[in-house]
Amino acid sequence: MMRKIIGKIIDIVLPPKEQTHASEEEAPTAPIKEVKAVSLEQLLGGALGDAPAEPDLRVIGLYSSVEDEKIAELTQALLYLNEMNRLLPEGKEKKPVEFYINTYGGSADDMFAMYDVMQQVMEETEIHTIGVGKVMSAGTLLLAAGTKGKRKIGRNCRVMIHNVAAGNFGNLPNLANELEAIQRLQEDYISAMVDNTKFTRKKLEKLLNEKVNIYLDAEEAVKYGLADEIM
């Protein structure tokens, strides 16, 4: 009984707390700020300072055999990148192309197709060749054909040079005709290698006659002028 009386006294002296939860209609609304779209380039530019708006990808690579479809892709890429340099405003520095090579080799005809396009492009655009892994057979000329002073090779890259090879069958006149064509191709190959390396014709012919395959490490590749420096 005493507890009930005390309880009532407390209720009178200390009335129940007022509800402090405002209804949704009465809740104050914060002003909505306009959010402007920000591009990825702007975000990167703010984070990286002078970062370019778009990455300048001027890198091509041969990581397979030297064959017609792959060489078609590479020559088209080279011609496109060279054309991009042509379209630069006057006075703006032209940008080089980096050409990574890692191949066992392939067709001599396709090798010369790529070689000739490289010579054409390098009249306006530098091609920095970079040998990695293995650069063999038809790949060696492509490595050596880059812009002089800008040809690099990986420290663990293996290089292999050999004679032009072919397999044919048929009657004697046909074989004689094919042999003549191969000999001309061999002469063209040796001439191109001499033009782009430190090999003399006499030295290269001697090596090719002594060994079926001539293997070089990175230091030897630089020594003989297939590359200019080791990465």
Range of the structural domain that residue 98 is part of: 57-230
Q: Is 65 a catalytic residue?
A: no
The active-site residue, picked from 23, 64, 107, 137, is 137
Q: How many domains does the chain have?
A: 1
The answer to whether residue 26 is domain-embedded is: no
The answer to whether residue 23 is domain-embedded is: no
Mean pLDDT taken over the chain: 81
> What global pTM score does this model have?
0.72
The active-site residue, picked from 21, 23, 65, 162, is 162
pLDDT tens across 163-207, in order? 886 555 556 666 667 677 778 889 999 999 999 999 999 999 999
The answer to whether residue 205 is domain-embedded is: yes
Q: Residue 108 sits in a domain of what CATH number? A: 3.90.226.10
The answer to whether residue 44 is domain-embedded is: no
Using CA atoms, how far apart are residues 184 and 181, in angstroms rounded to an integer? 5
The confidence score (pLDDT) of residue 56 equals: 63
The answer to whether residue 91 is domain-embedded is: yes
* Contact in structure between 158 and 102 (CB atoms under 8 Å): no
Q: How far is CA 131 from the centre of its chain?
A: 12
Q: Is 23 a catalytic residue?
A: no
The answer to whether residue 71 is domain-embedded is: yes
pLDDT tens across 70-119, in order? 999 999 999 999 999 999 888 888 999 999 999 999 999 999 999 999 99
